Amino acid sequence: SQQGEEDPQALSIQEGENATMNCSYKTSINNLQWYRQNSGRGLVHLILIRSNEREKHSGRLRVTLDTSKKSSSLLITASRAADTASYFCATVVDSSYKLIFGSGTRLLVRP
């Protein structure tokens, strides 16, 4: 079963613009992770944020976590055509190592 729901399901932006994707989840978590999946390929880990952290940066990526609202957001700044992919949030539930994925956001960055 899926833990999270992502919003929007699909996003189309122009190269250079910022892209924001949101994720909501249902249960208490140990950490939340974001992954990218290019068409027909495996998933690539982007960033992990722990439940006691509120914001994390990695290059052009910024992730926020609000445990009171059970939500997270992924911001990609200055997007590039190569950022076109599906993006998934995934949560590790307290006391387990099960990584449960959301439904994903399909991002299209137009050149």
Partner 1 sequence: DAGVIQSPRHEVTEMGQEVTLRCKPISGHDYLFWYRQTMMRGLELLIYFNNNVPIDDSGMPEDRFSAKMPNASFSTLKIQPSEPRDSAVYFCASSFLGRLSGGYTFGSGTRLTVV
Interactions with partner 1, residue window 12-71 (CB under 8 A): 30-31, 33, 35, 41-48, 50
Q: Which is nearer to partner 1, 1 or 14 (CB)?
A: 1
Q: Shortest gap between Cβ of 15 and partner 1 (angstroms)?
A: 27
For residues 33 and 108, give the distance between their C-alpha atoms in angstroms, rounded to a whole number.
Answer: 21
The pair phi, psi for residue 20, each rounded to 5°, is -120, 130
- Report the nearest approach of partner 1 to the CB of residue 37 (Å): 9
User: Count residues contacting partner 1 (CB under 8 A)?
Assistant: 26
Q: Are 71 and 22 in contact (CB under 8 A)?
A: yes
CB of residue 25 to partner 1, shortest distance in Å: 14
In the chain, beta strands by DSSP E = 5-7, 10-14, 19-24, 29-37, 43-50, 55-58, 61-66, 71-76, 85-93, 99-101, 105-110
Residues engaged in binding partner 1 (CB under 8 A): 1-2, 30-31, 33, 35, 41-48, 50, 88, 92, 96-104
